[in-house]
Amino acid sequence: MKIVEILISLSRAEAVMLNPSAEQAHKRSNLLQTAAILAGMCALVAVSAGLLWGFAGAAVACGIVGLLAFCSPQIPASVVMRLYKGQRLDAGSPNQLNNITNALSERAELQHRPEIYIIPSLTLNAFATGTRRRPTIGITEGLLRQLSLRELAGVLAHEVSHIKNNDLRVMGLADLMSRFTQILSYTAAILAIVNVLSLIFAGEFTYNWFAIGLLYLAPAISSLLQLGLSRVREFDADLEGASFTGDPEGLASALEKVERYTGHFWEDLMLPVPARRVPLPSMLRSHPTTEQRVARLQELDLNRAYPQIIIREEPMISMVGLGPIAMRPRYRFPGIWY
């Protein structure tokens, strides 16, 4: 891959900051929401286990959740990137992405700079994975081809914020609790069968139908809590990422462009008019709507305390040497879309 080198003016002194009182209030609010949602998911695990095995079961389930939180088992980033056929960008090579990543890592005061992987796909996506000690950011070729360098800086800053705030571990813990609840709920189907057989052969129910119903609904409730947690962390990453670049409008522009390129063309082409732009209920979204995110970023821009970082767009990113992208977006083993 050949990416033209660019000069970037990034210094810690130029950071954009929220009003100190507003920033503290924002961080407190997000922290409380995160704690409340995680506590709710933990309580749901405890209730599900308690319905099956009583107080002892609830205590054991809470102990397992605590152990998972302490150990924080995670799939190595290298394994994730192999699934996406990602290619690591040499951290020592002088190119635009490395320059931006180095500067953002310094601003975020990360102890370990994230490795950058390029994913050969036309989808417009970027994500952080790994741990704080070995963080990794994956960027698709589609994103590199469609976004300007200014917009890419905003996206990278968003992912760096996820790494700084330990969102990888928080969301990993939430996912583990959600899966644990799902496993416990499988017994609801078994208990329902036992109840029906008991009614047929003994004329009475063995287990309480209300408890079975709660077990059956627990995964859906857990998923809603997990989606709520994701939305909270995404808002936080947007605002803090914008403070790292000093350019909220860069990330806002990237969000709007991704929204424009993903889905709407096919909606307009294939769907009848009444079916277009039917908004998904907010509680079923993993991310806030683009409109909400852009509005918050624009509010941050109005309260900017320092001048934005200047990223020189000349020359633009060159994809010379890459050739055509061979991998079109589709589901690939083991069930991931790229």
145 within 8 A of 121, measured Cβ to Cβ: no
**Which residue reads 């799939």 in tokens?**
75
Q: Who contacts 131 (Cβ-Cβ below 8 Å, separation ≥6)?
A: 72, 74, 77, 168, 169
Rounded CA gap, 127 and 142, in Å? 13
Q: What is the spatial distance between Cα 253 and Cα 194, in angstroms, rounded to a whole number? A: 56
Q: What is the largest CA-CA distance in the chain?
A: 81
Q: Which residues of 206-227 are buried (b: 16+ CB within 10 A; e: fewer)?
A: ebeeebbebbbebbebbbebbb
Report residue 277 as tokens: 């732009």
Could you check whether the bond before residue 334 is cis, i.e. omega within 30 degrees of 0?
A: yes
How far apart CA 61 and CA 49 sit, in angstroms, is 6
CA 191/CA 187 separation, integer angstroms: 6
CA 8 to chain centre: 27
Locate tokens 């069968």: which residue? 193
Q: How many residues would you count in the chain? A: 338
Closest-CA residue to 130 (of 81, 90, 87): 81
**DSSP code of 7?**
-
185's tokens? 């709920």
CA–CA separation, 150 vs 301, rounded Å? 15
Is the Cβ–Cβ distance between 135 and 117 less than 8 Å? no
Please say if 115 is a catalytic residue: no
Catalytic annotation, pick one of 115, 151, 159, 234 = 159
Just list the catalytic residues. 159
